[in-house]
Every structure is written in C-alpha cells, then in structure tokens.
Amino acid sequence: MEITGSVALVTGANRGIGRQFARQLLERGAAKVYATARRPELVDLPGVETLRLDVTDPDSIAAAAAAADDVTLLVNNAGITTGTNLVTGDLAEIRRELDTHFFGALGMVRAFAPTLAARGGGAVVNVLSALSWFAVDGANAYHVAKAAEWALTNGVRLELAGQGTLVTGVHLGAADTDMMAGYDGPMTDPADVVRAALDGVEKRQLEVLVDDWSAEVKAALAADPATFYGRLPA
C-alpha cells in the first residue's frame, strides 16, 4: 500500500491522533485527504478537504461515502471515552461507546468497501487500543467497545481479503491527546503513533503495536490473567 498518491479519509480529524493522520498523510504525498469531523469547521489543516461526518449516524456515513467516492485509504480513528463501568454505569453511555467504536467503524467499512474494491483494494486502518485486551475499573465500557472493534478488525480483514483490501489494526497505550486529559502516566506523542501506523500500512502489516505497553499486554494474554491483573494498580 503506497501512501504517495493515495486518497485518504480520516474520521475524527479535528484533533489529536486524527489531526496527525491528516497532516502526515499530506506530508507523505497523499493526493487528497478528506478530514472529517462532526464539526468540520474545527479542522484547521491547510490542504485537506473537509467533510461533516458523524460515525454514529448511518445517513451521515452514506453521505460521506457518496461525496468521497475516490477513497483508497480509510482511517477509522473517531473515538470517545465516557468513563463508564458495566454493572452500575449508564446503559446509554455504554451503548454510545459501542455505537462509536464498533458500529461506527463497521458502518464506515461497509460503506467504503465497494469504493476500495473499485480502486484495487486499498487499505483500512482501525485505531484500536491496548485496552482492547484488558479491563480497568472506571473504563470498562471503553474496554468492551475496543475489544469489539478488535474482533471487527479481524473479521473484516478476512472478508475483504478477496478484494485485495489490507486491514491494519493499530494498538497503543496512552497518547497525549485531549481524551487523556488528567492522566498522569507516560503518554506517547500522537505524531509517533501515526508515524508507526503509516509505516505499518506501507509494509502491509496486519497489526501495529505502537508502544512497549501494547506489546506487553498482548503477550500477557497467553499467561494466567491473575499475574497480569495482579500488577495493575488497585
């Protein structure tokens, strides 16, 4: 998958990792970058083409797919975190996380798969998380939604293989974005996240582990969960 000359669409491109995707795609020679957001007026990058897009709204997804019918690289980045638990948390907030991360990403893949097929296959990048693989009290709705998006990524990869579409999952720990405001642990620069992700796409990697924490969490899946969870703060 060549970034140079590609036509990319990035969801949630008004800030954080999404903004870095749009910027670095241009820097790497993408022919066109659709920078999408629920409020496209907040996108401040010169050289991009802005589109209004709410990934939780099927009509909005359909309109974006009709407007951007030349896409060869789809980046599913839009995300939220509500800080909601599962047993006592607000069900509406849990559903909102799933609507964004799972159904939103699935809706985008379904809408753009024919476009990618018509242009030789192209690629889909799903921005996932180390939290795809472990639970943490206070963010379990996010964990479930990202776990579902990881499973989605693995599933659509198989379904789109026949049309030549690369599907890359990107896992990271904490990135220095507005979403992580208030977090006092180590954080990765969003520019480094995107650099690793796009390098992975160009190498046709199925999975990109951005940081050591993501690699460690994934490796722990094969061990006794008591060992891993015993190391987490109470």
Q: What is the pLDDT of residues 75-104, one digit of tens each?
A: 999 999 999 999 999 999 999 999 999 999
Coil, helix or strand at residue 212: helix
Compute CA distances 187 → 19, 56, 80, 125, whole Å.
17, 28, 17, 21
pLDDT of residue 72: 98
The structural domains of the chain, ordered by start, are 7-231 (3.40.50.720)
Nearest to 84 by CA among 70, 99, 105, 103: 99
Tokens matching residue 212: 């050591």
pLDDT of residue 190: 87
Does the model's pTM come out above 0.85?
Answer: yes
pLDDT of residue 232: 82
pLDDT of residue 173: 87
**Other residues' Cβ atoms within 10 Å of the Cβ of residue 57:** 16
35 burial type by CB count under 10 A (0-12 exposed, 13-18 middle, 19+ buried): buried
For the chain, residues with pLDDT lower than 70 are: 174-187, 234
User: DSSP letter at 86?
Assistant: S
pLDDT of residue 69: 97
Nearest to 24 by CA among 48, 42, 54, 49: 48
pLDDT of residue 176: 57
Q: How far apart are CA 163 and CA 173, in angstroms?
A: 32
Lookup result for tokens 């220095």: 176
Under 8 Å between Cβ of 109 and 124: yes
